[in-house]
Amino acid sequence: MKILAIETSCDETAVALVEVKGGLNSPANSGPKFKILKSLVASQIKIHRPFGGVVPNLAKREHLKNLPILFGKLQLTIHNLQPNLVAVTVGPGLEPCLWTGINFAKEIKNQFASWRKKTKIIGVSHLEGHLYSFLLNPKSKIKFPAVALIVSGGHTILILMKDLTHLKKLGETRDDAVGECFDKVARLLNLSYPGGPEIEKIAKKGDEEAINFPRPMLNQKNYDLSFSGLKTSVLYYLRDSKIQTDQVADIAASFQKAAFDVLIKKTLRAVKEFKAKSIIVAGGVAANKTLAKMFKKAIKKDNLRLNLIIPETKFCTDNAAMIAASAYLNFLQNKKYKLVANSGLNFK
Ligand code: KG4
Ligand code: ZN
């Protein structure tokens, strides 16, 4: 089957064309196998950078402009590559941006009579897109049960996966998402937007033990997380001490270490409790190579036999191929989301 996917939930306009076969088993066992024919992303970073964050109306305007251009680049016609499904993100995200994608999906379905008849539109959760992005790599070796950590600009969630489709939310952040915290701390340090990659880069030059920032909720016996206190303690540190420019790297490294210590400790606690055989880390913050290194080190230290699965960097940050992957699982399960923007959509 061929899936055309559209993603416009935040500040990346993305479309993808994906071919897929297989069922709901794990990929090693006749499960879904994806072939990405095209995956295009038009980044809006330069537009939002002067504002230090995403401006919803500007994002919507850019999606409206970019969608027809990206769609044109797919060079679909009535004759070639008619998709069986048009997959579109319905939430969570910025409502005006979500509507832009949903309306565009409806428009392209209506462009040819044969598409009107045979192509179905299928709504997708952006979070499930991140969760299933690992399926895009045919080499991912998933064994269940698995614990998945979704770390993005809007969410920080721990999920237990009994198999590909049985999901249970174990916990999530009670305040800021970890990506949001990186972006806010980067702003305090006068680094540019988006802050995650900037902090990762400058932290490489710093000493992660230089400042002992708090690790919120580290020892609480639940799977919830919190990052706003960590951000505030960076703010107080900057206010109370006279910072030299060469200390920025130490602050970035110490902040990053504190945030990742919490993510890793909570994830490994879930792994032990539920006897998980794999860890999936997904979402924009999963693009951080220091996080991967720290996870590997902690897994080794605890002598755990685990597959650590992190999607390729281009599939950690927002993209439409992951929306196609998630749409296929929805299709196989007959799982339906209304074609209505749902900014607060989350795992149950
Ligand atoms: O998944 P994503 O592209 O969009 C959302 O769904 O939010 O995640 C974006 C977030 C931003 O907060 C960005 O700063 C963060 O992911 N991010 C990173 C890195 N690359 C992106 N955070 C830490 N290190 C990175 N290398
Ligand atoms: Zn995302």
Q: What is the pLDDT of residue 242?
A: 80
pLDDT band at 52 (very low <50, low <70, confident <90, very high): confident
Ligand 2 midpoint to CA 155 (Å): 8
pLDDT band at 25 (very low <50, low <70, confident <90, very high): confident
Q: What is the pLDDT of residue 192?
A: 92
pLDDT tens profile 158-172: 999 999 999 999 999
Tell me which residue of 210, 189, 211 sits closest to 200, measured CA to CA. Answer: 189
In whole angstroms, give the CA distance from residue 64 to residue 51. Answer: 20
Ligand 1 midpoint to CA 318 (Å): 9
Closest ligand 1 atom number to CA of residue 186: 14
Across the chain, what does the average pLDDT equal?
95
Q: What is the pLDDT of residue 253?
A: 98
Give the closest ligand to the alpha carbon of residue 289: 1
In whole angstroms, give the CA distance from residue 258 to residue 216. Answer: 9
The yes-or-no verdict on residue 77 having pLDDT over 70 is no
Q: Supply the DSSP string of 91-131, one letter for each residue.
A: ESS-HHHHHHHHHHHHHHHTSSHHHHHH-EEEEEEHHHHHH
Ligand 1 midpoint to CA 283 (Å): 7
Question: Which of 155, 156, 182, 204 to mutate to test ligand 1, by most ligand atoms within 8 A of the CB atom?
Answer: 182
Closest ligand 1 atom number to CA of residue 12: 3
Determine contact, residues 252/206, Cβ cutoff 8 Å. Answer: yes
The yes-or-no verdict on residue 71 having pLDDT over 70 is yes
Q: What is the pLDDT of residue 132?
A: 98
Tell me which residue of 333, 337, 340 sits closest to 348, measured CA to CA. Answer: 337
In whole angstroms, give the CA distance from residue 146 to residue 127. Answer: 16
Q: Which two tokens stand for residue 142?
A: 């998933």
Tell me which residue of 225, 229, 227 sits closest to 169, measured CA to CA. Answer: 225
Ligand 2 midpoint to CA 317 (Å): 6
Which residues line the pocket of ligand 1, CB cutoff 6 A?
Answer: 10, 152-154, 179-180, 182-183, 194-197, 200, 283-285, 287-288, 317-318
Q: Supply the DSSP string of 213-239, one letter for each residue.
A: ---TTTTSSSS-B--HHHHHHHHHHHH
Torsion angle, alpha carbons of 206, 210, 212, 217, to 10: 20
The yes-or-no verdict on residue 78 having pLDDT over 70 is no
Q: What is the pLDDT of residue 111?
A: 86
Average pLDDT over residues 93-99: 98
Which of 108-112, 126-130, 192-196, 211-215 shows the lowest mean pLDDT across its residues?
108-112
Tell me which residue of 265, 256, 295 sits closest to 158, measured CA to CA. Answer: 265
Residue nearest to atom 13 of ligand 1 (CA): 196
Question: Which of 149, 313, 317 to mutate to test ligand 1, by most ligand atoms within 8 A of the CB atom?
Answer: 317
Q: What is the pLDDT of residue 112?
A: 81
First CA to last CA distance, the chain = 29
CA distances from 99 to 3, 8, 35, 171, 211 (A): 20, 8, 28, 29, 44
The yes-or-no verdict on residue 245 having pLDDT over 80 is no
Determine contact, residues 238/190, Cβ cutoff 8 Å. Answer: no
The yes-or-no verdict on residue 80 having pLDDT over 80 is no
pLDDT tens profile 185-194: 999 999 999 9
Q: What is the amino acid identity at position 29?
A: N
Closest ligand 1 atom number to CA of residue 130: 1
Q: What is the pLDDT of residue 246?
A: 74
Residue nearest to atom 8 of ligand 1 (CA): 284
Average pLDDT over residues 181-209: 96
Give the closest ligand to the alpha carbon of residue 263: 1
Closest ligand 1 atom number to CA of residue 178: 12
Ligand 2 midpoint to CA 28 (Å): 26
Question: Which of 97, 181, 285, 323 to mutate to test ligand 1, by most ligand atoms within 8 A of the CB atom?
Answer: 285
Q: Which two tokens stand for residue 149?
A: 């950590």
Q: What is the amino acid identity at position 207?
A: D
Percent of the chain topping pLDDT 70: 99
Average pLDDT over residues 259-267: 98
Residue nearest to atom 23 of ligand 1 (CA): 196
The yes-or-no verdict on residue 29 having pLDDT over 90 is no
The yes-or-no verdict on residue 70 having pLDDT over 90 is yes
DSSP code at position 341: -
Give the closest ligand to the alpha carbon of residue 283: 1
How far is residue 169 CA from its own chain's centroid? 16
Q: What is the pLDDT of residue 348?
A: 82
Q: What is the phi/psi pair of residue 285, to 5°?
A: -70, -20
Determine contact, residues 309/280, Cβ cutoff 8 Å. Answer: yes
Q: What is the phi/psi pair of residue 149, to 5°?
A: -115, 115
DSSP code at position 225: B
Buried b or exposed e, range 290-307, using 16+ CB within 10 angstroms: bbeebbeebbeeeeeebe
The yes-or-no verdict on residue 295 having pLDDT over 80 is yes
Determine contact, residues 262/181, Cβ cutoff 8 Å. Answer: no
**What structural domains does the chain harbor?**
2-132+315-333 (3.30.420.40), 142-310 (3.30.420.40)
Percent of the chain topping pLDDT 90: 86
Question: Which of 49, 126, 132, 152 to mutate to test ligand 1, by most ligand atoms within 8 A of the CB atom?
Answer: 152
Q: What is the pLDDT of residue 81?
A: 74
For 151, residues 6+ apart whose C-beta sits below 8 A from its C-beta are: 177, 178, 179, 263, 281, 282, 283, 284, 285, 286, 291
Ligand 1 midpoint to CA 122 (Å): 26
Residue nearest to atom 14 of ligand 1 (CA): 196
Determine contact, residues 76/83, Cβ cutoff 8 Å. Answer: yes
